[in-house]
Chains A and B, each alone.
Chain A
């Protein structure tokens, strides 16, 4: 009888266990985050040249310039469409791309007497597309430097940008008093891989570098309170400040100079010369000033056009 009871007990327990049995909890496999350095230094060695802002002497030979276009009736210019005030699509004007850089592109096309096609490109594609011949020019806040001169040609400087810092409206007074030192132990954002954070860290080593995909990504972090400041070219910061009334670019000296030039394929020297003549005219006839006043002055105060070049490559 005892065995029977034991057997019955075991079977009852088995039934109870079966009724109660469940599944292991669902788990999500872990993925390794991709390593990224917010302030990675460039891996290429700097290329020496006497003056990265020296371009070719200007020329009004329009026919020679047009001959160097891929399509004689069309000027294809690589631009940005998401950098407010330099080049961005305006949803209130049929998404037309507008800005300080676009004014430069439009002036060149107009004086060449050809139709303008704006092709939106990423910063990473600027040199590649010029070299492949898919675009004629790049007017996309492109800094002239010796390394780039090795690969492409540039017009003369059409804007002298400077690396600056954007802060919260309530940090403006502190920044204007002590400059970059006011960023001690604060989080400063710049695009991942940019060297601009190195300039901040060399002055205030306790500043915390934070990377984002681009400057607009930095503004998202800024609005979410994840960073306290953003550093970059003053032109780009002007576009960010225009989107957020609590984001300010205080009065400050630039941390580095960033001369912008129009990027052109290296062999198209006649085109570069003609572009320089267009830039000269814009500087002298007030078009440059008018464009600056429209797009950048409200955020970057008064500024004059870059001085006329005195030295040339040839």
Chain B
């Protein structure tokens, strides 16, 4: 594509040393055009368009990369706080159930309780490190868990002596746990769910498309100006820049769209399943603890049963996702048998049903349900985190590459318009 300079404008008149006497020249506006200056301006504009496109497109991609990273971290933090919640109520279910047999509690159950409290305290420390916004409430949670564990220890000490005050310490600890620690955990779950869902919506294919179209439009207008000035339809440099902009836009819009769809799918499936399963497990452990508390606080069956029924409703909301429906149903049936025994005045057999480790008791199907639900919740959460984290390095590299391509496009613009300048000279 050879191009010949065909300047329309006449060269500027030579400067004169002294101006002649003023002569009235009405309507004699200068008609010449300063072509080199205009070429400089166009070159600057074209380069700016290419660089701004590269930077803004890279910025939008960077925001998406950052949002996916935050979504992964927020999902991980959500899984962590839900695990704390489930484990804490699991500890309460273990403590209340172990209490029922008197001072000589099952060593395995005691070890599980200790392990649950250890895990809760470790996870609180991890959660504090992972999300600074949660730090203040996690400090309060730490105090609440420590207070709970202390009261349970006092309950055990009194239970070994056979004093009824042990039951008061334990039921007080359980009530305080639900009044203090659980609202904190509910707030943490809500905040991290909002954060994770918000971050999953951090891909912006529309903005990438808009930035690309604006850059292409600017390059098109610039090319038209050049074409009008030099009677050549296309400027090679501008064409190269436009191809780069178009290519980058197509690739990034497509990638962002795929990512956005994937995040939507993740939010509605694996993420939602992880949240729902964790809620189910939390409510199930609450139900098991309430079952033991009704037997500890003898005579309070009716009030306890209302709470148990509320927990059951919460569990059954998430049962559709759980693979442990049969175990839950078996537990719920045996719980009803336990209630019938207790209400009928046979507390001893009701207590045996609650505390026996044999498959006929309430504990065995409950434990199976708890373990299966915990494993499934963890699996779904891991899938969500892994998916959000996958391909992020590539996205970051492409974000950096976009800046470079913007620079390349700018150089192409500079060379294309520079060629015109040379021809004009």
Is A31 touching B183 in the complex (CB atoms < 8 A)?
yes
In-complex Cβ contact of B172 among A76, A89, A220, A240 (8 A): A220
The one of B51, B66, B133, B158 that contacts A243, using a Cβ cutoff of 8 Å: B158
Interface 9-residue window, one of A57-65, A120-128, A252-260, A272-280: A120-128
CB distance from B410 to the nearest CB of A (A): 11
A26 adjacent to B133 (CB under 8 Å): yes
6 closest A-B pairs by beta carbon, nearest first, are: A91-B102, A120-B298, A120-B299, A23-B133, A216-B168, A26-B191
Q: Are B134 and A26 in contact (CB under 8 A)?
A: yes
Nearest B residue to A23 via CB reads: B133
Find A118's partner among B44, B133, B192, B345 (CB 8 Å cutoff): B345
* Of B133, B134, B136, B159, the contact of A91 (CB 8 Å cutoff): B159
User: Does B136 lie within 8 Å of A15, measured CB to CB?
Assistant: no
B319 within 8 A of A: no
Q: Does B140 contact A (CB under 8 A)?
A: yes
Distance of A30 from chain B, by nearest CB (Å): 9
**A35 sits at the interface (CB 8 A):** no
- Indicate if the CB atoms of B299 and A216 lie closer than 8 Å: no
A22 adjacent to chain B (CB < 8 Å): yes
A26-B133, A27-B187, A243-B163 known; A119-B345 Cβ under 8 A: yes
Q: CA–CA, A91 to B44, complex, Å?
A: 90
* B347 and A120 within 8 A (CB): yes
Chain A interfacial residues counted at CB < 8 A: 49
Q: Check A220 against B168 for contact (C-beta < 8 Å).
A: yes
Q: Which stretch from B55-63, B267-275, B376-384 is at the chain A interface? A: B55-63
A219 contact set on B, CB distance < 8 A? 165, 168
Residues of the A chain whose Cβ atoms lie less than 8 Å from the Cβ of B188? 26
**Chain A 65-96 against B: per-residue CB contact (8 Å), 1 yes, 0 no?**
00000000000100011111000111110110
Cβ distance A84 to chain B, nearest Cβ, rounded Å? 5
Q: Please, could you name 11 A-B residue pairs with CB atoms under 8 Å apart, sorted by A?
A: A3-B48, A18-B59, A25-B135, A92-B162, A95-B347, A95-B348, A95-B351, A121-B299, A216-B165, A217-B168, A220-B172
Q: Which residue of chain B has its CB nearest to the CB of A76?
A: B345
Q: Which residues of chain B have a CB within 8 Å of any CB of chain A? A: 44, 48, 51-52, 55-56, 59, 62-63, 66, 102-103, 131-137, 140, 158-159, 161-165, 167-169, 172, 183-184, 187-188, 191-192, 195, 297-300, 345, 347-348, 351
Q: State whether the Cβ of A201 lies closer than 8 Å to any Cβ in chain B.
A: no
In the bound complex, residues from chain A placing their C-beta under 8 Å from that of B163 are 84, 242-243
Alpha-carbon distance between A129 and B163 when the two chains are bound, in angstroms: 27
**Apart from A92-B162, A94-B348, 9 more pairs, CB < 8 Å:** A19-B66, A24-B133, A25-B133, A26-B136, A26-B188, A31-B183, A76-B345, A95-B348, A243-B161
* Contact across chains for A23 and B131 when beta carbons are under 8 A apart: yes
Given A18-B62, A91-B103, A119-B345, also A26-B187 (CB < 8 A): yes
Task: Check: A117 CB closer than 8 A to any chain B CB.
Answer: yes
In the complex formed, the residue of A with least CB distance to B302 is A125
Q: Does A14 contact B (CB under 8 A)?
A: yes
Q: Write out the residue numbers on chain B whose beta carbons fall within 8 Å of the beta carbon of A22.
A: 132-133
A positions within 8 Å CB-CB of B: 3-4, 7-8, 11, 14-15, 18-19, 22-29, 31, 76, 80-84, 88-92, 94-95, 117-122, 125, 214, 216-217, 219-220, 223, 239-240, 242-244
Closest to A222 in B: B165
A151 to B187, CA, bound (A): 47
* Minimum distance in angstroms from B132 CB to a CB of chain A: 7
Please name all residues of chain B whose beta carbon is closer than 8 Å to the beta carbon of A29 when the two chains form the complex: 183, 187
Kindly list chain B residues whose C-beta atoms are within 8 Å of the C-beta of A244. Answer: 165
CA gap between A239 and B327 in the complex, in Å: 43
Task: Select from chain B the residue with minimum beta-carbon distance to A239.
Answer: B164
Q: Across the two chains, which residue of chain A brings its CB closest to B299?
A: A120
- Which residue on chain B has the smallest CB distance to residue A244? B165
Q: Are B298 and A89 in contact (CB under 8 A)?
A: yes
**Given contact pairs A31-B183, A94-B348, A119-B345, A125 touches B299 in the complex (Cβ within 8 A):** yes
A149–B183 Cα gap in the complex (Å)? 45
Interface residue from B51, B103, B345 paired with A117 (Cβ < 8 Å): B345
Instruction: Kindly state the separation between the CA atoms of A125 and B297 in the bound complex, as whole angstroms.
Output: 14
Known: A7-B52, A23-B131. A82 touches B59 (CB 8 A): no
Closest A residue to B187 using CB positions:
A28
Which one, B162, B184, B299, contacts A81 given CB within 8 A?
A: B299
B62 near A15 with CB under 8 A, answer yes
> A82, B167: Cβ atoms under 8 Å?
yes
Chain A residues, CB < 8 A from B351: 95
A89 to B, closest residue via Cβ: B298
Closest-CB distance, A246 to chain B (whole angstroms)? 13
* Complex CA distance for A24 and B345, rounded to whole angstroms: 53
Which residue of chain B is the closest to A90 with respect to CB atoms?
Answer: B162
Q: Are B164 and A243 in contact (CB under 8 A)?
A: yes
